[in-house]
Amino acid sequence: MKHLAVALLLATAACGGSSATPSAPSISAEVDIVDTAIAAGSFKTLVAAVQAADLVDTLKGPGPFTVFAPTDDAFAKLPPGTVDALLADKAALTAVLTYHVVAGKVTAADVAGLTQATTVQGGALTIDTSSGVRINDATVIKADVMASNGVIHVIDTVLLPPE
């Protein structure tokens, strides 16, 4: 679980920054999810969260992982104090981060045939492809950012596991 959460945070960091529509970093698929996120520069909050949850080594592992990575702008949409509260509660932070990670490499082509996916956290994500791609309440704004140990899909909203 720890490894998956790290992958998610790193993937988020690799996929973008604070722009509304982050572009894929010009990094080859030879780089892991964490380094891809760091290089992108638009996932500072996600990377910080992955580091705080001690998930970096996990997300640098062999995987493969699929990370639905929220941008910095997605984190900014959370109610005031939410990010700080998560950073202060490692168990809650890990649950949120691992809720963004699915075991295996699930590309955009694969997602088209799915209605649900089980996360590393254990919860289920609802997938709707009727108009673009939605994961629960989040919209995929950039798909298929390839990394050596998986794939990152950039999303515009932080996914919160059901309580």
Domain annotation covers residue 161? no
**Residue 2 confidence class, pLDDT cut points 50, 70, 90:** very low
On the question of pLDDT at 149 being above 90, the answer is yes
Domain annotation covers residue 29? yes
Domain annotation covers residue 66? yes
Q: How many residues are given for the chain?
A: 163
Domain annotation covers residue 163? no
Report the alpha-carbon distance of residue 71 to residue 74 in Å, rounded.
5
In the predicted model, what is the mean pLDDT of residues 146-152? 95
DSSP string, the chain: -HHHHHHHHHHHHHH--SSSSPPPPS--TTS-HHHHHHHHSS-HHHHHHHHHTT-HHHHTSS--EEEEEE-HHHHHTSPTTHHHHHHH-HHHHHHHHHTTEEES---HHHHTT-SEEE-TTS-EEEEE-SSS-EETTEEEEEEEEEETTEEEEEESS------
Q: Tell me, what's the pLDDT at 42? A: 84
Q: Which phi and psi angles does 138 have, rounded to 5°? A: -100, 145
On the question of pLDDT at 51 being above 50, the answer is yes
Q: List the domain range (segments joined by +) for residue 36.
A: 2-155
Domain annotation covers residue 160? no
Q: Identify the residue with better confidence: 17 or 136.
A: 136
Q: Identify the residue with better confidence: 43 or 3.
A: 43
Listed range (21-25, 69-73, 86-90, 146-150) with the worst mean pLDDT: 21-25
Domain annotation covers residue 162? no
In the predicted model, what is the mean pLDDT of residues 55-59? 92
Listed residue (143, 138, 148) closest to 15, CA to CA? 143
Domain annotation covers residue 60? yes
Q: Tell me, what's the pLDDT at 163? A: 78
**CATH code (residue 20):** 2.30.180.10
Report the mean per-residue pLDDT for the chain.
Answer: 84
**pTM (two decimals):** 0.82
Listed residue (139, 144, 143) closest to 155, CA to CA? 139
Domain annotation covers residue 40? yes
pLDDT one-digit tens code per residue, 68-122? 999 999 999 999 999 999 999 999 999 999 999 999 999 999 988 899 999 999 9
Into how many domains does the chain fold?
A: 1
Q: Tell me, what's the pLDDT at 111? A: 87
